[in-house]
Structure 1
Amino acid sequence: MLLKISLIIAIFSAPSCYGQQRSCRQLNQQRQGFRLILRYPPGWCVAMPRDECDGPADWVVQGFWPTPLITHSTTRYDHRYPLQFCCHKQQFNKKTLSSIIESMKRYWPSESYTNHYEYWKQQWDRYGACSHDPTAINRPLSSTIHYDQIDVAEYFALALDLFHRIRIREWLDDNHLKPSNDHSIRTNKIRETLNSHLNQMDQSSMVYELRCAHSNVTATKTKGRNILNEIRFCFDDQLNLIDCARFIDTDQHTGRTGQCDDNIYYVDKLGWP
C-alpha cells in the first residue's frame, strides 16, 4: 500500500511542460551552447503589425535558447526533440526576478508589451529549464561529461548580461548607420560594423546571424522591403562567442523572420503604421 501511495504522489507531483499535455523531458547531457536572440521592435512592427507597435524603438531581448553543439562525438540529432520543455526542480516564480525586474521590463519585454510575467514563464518553461549552467563548468570542455541545470534567476540574469555587452544601437549609430525609413543599408556595412566591435571578444565574422522580414503593410511605403528585425548571437557553453556554424540546426525560429538580402532597411519608429 505504501508503494502504491508513493507512486501516485510521484505521478501527480512530476513537473509538466508549459502548455503541453505530455510530461516534461529529461535534460540531454549533450554539449550545448546558446543563441541570444535580440529583437528590433520597429522592424517587427512594420513587417507584421500587431500589438507590438506600442513597444520601444530600441533593441530588446527576444530569447535565450539552448542549442546543441557539434562535437567530434556528436551523434545523429533527432530534430523532433529540440532542447525544449525539460524537467527542472525549479518552477518559474516572479519573486526570483525581484532584483532585476525593472531591467527585465525594459530590456526583455513580452512581445505584446503586456503580461510580462506570463511571457517570462513561457521562456523559462520552454528554454530555460533545458539550459545547462555555464557557471558550473569548471573543467576543460573536452572532459566535461556532466552538466548542472541553471536556476531561474541566473538564466535571465545571464541573458541580460550578454545583452548589455552587445551594444548594437550604439555601434551602428557611431558608424552613421542610423534608423531610416527612406534609405536602405548594405548588409555588409552592418556586418563590418558589428565585426569591428565583436573582434574584441572573437575573431570570427560568423558569431551572429542577421534576420529580416518582408513588410506586408499595404498602407505604408515600406511594403515589400527587406527589413532588419532580429540579430542572433551564438555562444558556447562557457558563454564565449562562437561561429554559429558550430550549432546543430534545430530550426528554432520566431515565425516572422528569415534571411536578409544584400540591401535592407533599418527602419525608424516613425515608419510604423
Structure 2
Amino acid sequence: MPAAETTWNVHGIWPTKIGKEGPFCCPSAIHFDPTQLQPLISDLNNNWTNIEEGTKEYSFWRHEWDKHGTCASASPFLNSIYNYFRKGLEWNKQYKLSDILSQNKIIAGSAGYTPSQIFDAVKSVVKVNPMIQCEVHHKTKESMISEIRICFNKSLEPIDCDPSNPVGGDIITNCDSSKPVMYFSELPTNDMSYEVDYIDDGFRQHFEEQMYYLQVYKFLKFLIWFTT
C-alpha cells in the first residue's frame, strides 16, 4: 500500500467519447500478460495500487487493461501493456496532485474547501479544465474529495474535460457547491457507508466498485483515484 497518507493513486487511463464514458472491453489481439509489467512492478505497487483484498497480485491491473487498455491500445502511444501502464505512472508523476494542491494552500487534514478552489488549483497547473468528484459521508453528510480527472486528446495533449454534464455550474464536478469539500489525511473508518450524486451511470458503477474496495480496506490511508 502507498506509504504516504496524501498519495494519489492512478485508477486508469479511460478512453472516453464526448458526453459519455466508454468504449469498454474492445476486441484486441493483446491479451493481458503480467510479465510485461515486471519493469514497472515497484512503481505500480506504490502508485497504481491493487487494493482488492484476497485477489491475485495482478487482478486489478488485468481489469484495467481488459476494460480500458484494450480500447486505449488503438493509440500508437498506448499500444502495448507496458506503454499503457507506463504512461499512467508518468502522468501521475507529472501531475503530482498532492504538490499541486499544497502549492495552492489546499492541505490534507485541514478545513474544507470549495469545489472551485480545488478546481482552480488543479487548472492553474494543468492549464485545462479538470473534473472533480466527491463522495458524501452517510452519517456526517460531509462532502469528501475522491477523484480528480485530467483529460487528454488522441495525441495525449491535455484538453478540457467534457463539460456536457456539469453539475457544479461553471466547473465540472458532482460536488455540492453549498458544502465545504473535505480533504482528509485519512479515511473515516467508523462508518464506511457513503452516498453520492452521480454524473452518469458509468460513474455510478465506478463509485460502487470503489466503495467495495474502501470497505475491504478500512485502514487504508486516504486513497484517492487519479483518473486520466
TM over 0.5: yes
**Is 1:62 aligned with 2:3?**
no
Q: Aligned pair 1:130/2:79, yes or no?
A: no
Aligned to 1:209: 131
Aligned to 1:259: 174
Give the distance between the partners of 1:241 and 1:157, measured in 2 at CA. Answer: 17
**1:56 Cα deviation from its structure 2 partner:** 5.0
1:107 lines up with 2:22 in the alignment: no
Give, in angstroms, the shift of residue 187 of structure 1.
1.8
- Letter matched to residue 178 of structure 1: I
Deviation at 1:91, TM superposition (A): 1.2
In 2, Cα distance between the equivalents of 1:66 and 1:259?
20
**Number of aligned residues:** 180
How many Å apart are 1:163 and its aligned residue?
Answer: 1.6
Is the counterpart of residue 170 in structure 1 residue 108 in structure 2?
no
Q: How many angstroms apart in 2 are the aligned matches of 1:239 and 1:110?
A: 25
Q: Is the 8 A contact 2:119 2:131 kept in 1?
A: no
SS in 2 for 1:231: strand
Secondary structure of 1:229's match? strand
Checking the alignment, whether the CA contact within 8 Å between 2:151 and 2:159 is kept in structure 1 is yes
- Cα deviation, residue 212, structure 1: 0.2
Give me the whole-angstrom Cα distance separating, in 1, the residues matched to 2:85 and 2:187. 31
Residue type at the aligned position of 2:87: L
Whether the 8 Å CA contact 2:32–2:65 is kept in 1: the answer is yes
Match of 1:232 in 2: 149
Deviations 1:176-235 (A, max 9, x none): 211126x21122222222222123xxxx3x2x100000112x4xxxx2111101011111
Q: What amino acid sits opposite 2:30 in the alignment?
A: Q
Q: Secondary structure at the match of 1:127?
A: helix
Distance 2:23 2:187 in 1: 38
Between the aligned partners of 1:56 and 1:116, the Cα distance in structure 2 is 22
Asked if the contact 1:227/1:264 (under 8 Å) is kept, the reply is: yes
Give the match for residue 159 of structure 1.
88
- Matched to 2:70, the amino acid is A
Report the AA paired with residue 67 of structure 2. Answer: R
Whether the aligned pair in 2 keeps the contact of 1:105 and 1:116 (CA below 8 Å) is: no
CA distance in 2, matches of 1:229, 1:167: 15
Structure 1 residues 22-171: aligned runs within 5 Å: 56-69=5-18, 82-112=22-52, 115-135=56-76, 150-171=79-100
Shift of 1:112: 3.0
Match for 1:190 among 115, 118, 126? 118
Q: Do 2:143 and 2:182's aligned partners in 1 also have CA atoms closer than 8 Å?
A: yes
Give CA-to-partner distance per residue, 1:95-144, whole Å, 9 cap, x none.
101111100111011233663401111111111111144436xxxxxxxx
- The 3 A distance-change label for structure 1 pair 265 and 97 is same
Give the superposition deviation at 1:271. 4.3
User: In the alignment, which residue of structure 2 is the partner of 1:39?
Assistant: none
Aligned 8 A contact 2:18 2:162 in 1: no
Instruction: Return the alpha-carbon distance in structure 2 between the equivalents of residues 59 and 121 of structure 1.
Output: 20
Q: Secondary structure at the match of 1:196?
A: helix
What is the SS of the residue equivalent to 2:15? strand
- Cα–Cα, structure 1 residues 190 and 82, in superposed 2: closer, same or farther, change >3 Å? closer
Structure 2: any 5+ residue segments left out of the alignment? 166-172, 191-228
Post-superposition offset of 1:92: 0.9
Secondary structure class of the residue paired with 2:134: strand
Distance 1:131 1:196 in 2: 27
For 2:32 and 2:113, the matched residues in 1 are separated by: 41
**Match of residue 179 from structure 1:** 108
Q: Is the 8 A contact 1:134 1:239 kept in 2?
A: no
Q: What percent identity do the matched residue pairs reach?
A: 22
**TM-score, normalising length: structure 2:** 0.69
Give 3-state SS (helix, strand or coil) of 1:87's partner. Answer: coil
